[in-house]
Amino acid sequence: MKRIMVVGALAIGMVTAACGSTATANSATASPSPTRGGGAAFRNNGASGQLVQVNGQTLILTGPSGDLTVTISGTTTFTRTSTAVLADIVPGVCIVATGQKDSSGALTATTVRLSPKLSSGCAASTPFGPNASPPVGASPRPTPSGQPAIAFVSGEVTGAAGIAITVLTTASGSQTITVPTTAAVTTTVVASASELQTGECLRATGARDAAGNVLATSITITPAGPSGTCTTGLGGGGFGGRGGGRGGATPAAGAAGN
């Protein structure tokens, strides 16, 4: 009788263990790893990279993570950004200057972005670029510990005397900022799809479809770097690629602006 009970207990134990193994296997099967075509790829919108092919309304960008397809339409807007110099900062242009303010509140710029004044003026200027809106999904970056927050001044240039630039802002009136010769100055103008050329660097803003391709609402064109490649920008984990992270245009959390 005791032998029968022992055998029965062993049998029950084996069945229980087998059921446990099956449950574990089913649980593992029910949690597939994310793929590049979905999941993590949809956490961010837009992409950037070097233009290698134009097929009608389909653009092929390439970067460190491979190729990416961007689709444009009749409503996609285009802007071209190019390198400028201090002498290009003249009265009448729109400006967004980013840098740091001293104890008196005066800004010394490290980067300056210029654009033509529109009929609506320069009121729409933002840290992301004059007369432009932040890319979809943009989120502030935290300021590194021990470093002051980035500040910016935007508006219309009303005076320029050497490195002293006077800006009429919408929030606090006229301000004079300092733009040293070491500041990076760029200018942005309206462009069109017909201007696209292979080898240029593109930053596309827009949602991704189920295949991970970008449906562009706006595209920024910039020239390739000295080595002929694109190295920085929005999206794609660097300039070019499928990652889709935010790039250097994001202001720090707590950024002060006028």
Average pLDDT over residues 226-243: 51
Rounded Cα–Cα distance for residues 140 and 47 (Å): 18
C-beta neighbour count of 228 within 10 angstroms: 9
Determine contact, residues 95/156, Cβ cutoff 8 Å: yes
- What the block records as the tokens of 165 is 């630039």
Rounded Cα–Cα distance for residues 50 and 60 (Å): 8
Average pLDDT over residues 11-16: 50
Per-residue pLDDT band for 52 (boundaries 50, 70, 90) equals very high
What's the pLDDT at 147?
57
Over 60: is that where the pLDDT of 197 sits? yes
33-78+190-245: CATH superfamily: Bacterial OB-fold (2.40.50.200)
What's the pLDDT at 53?
96
Strands 66-71 and 107-115: unpaired
Q: In the chain, where does the domain assigned CATH 2.40.50.200 lie? A: 33-78+190-245
* Span of 138-147, 170-179, 210-219 with lowest mean pLDDT: 138-147
Task: Determine the 3-state secondary structure of 203 from DSSP.
Answer: strand
Over 70: is that where the pLDDT of 214 sits? yes
- What the block records as the tokens of 70 is 């961007």
What is the model's pTM? 0.59
* Span of 77-81, 116-120, 143-147, 253-257 with lowest mean pLDDT: 253-257
What's the pLDDT at 29?
42
Residues 238-258: b if buried by 16+ CB within 10 A, e if exposed: bbbbbbbebbebbbbeebbbb
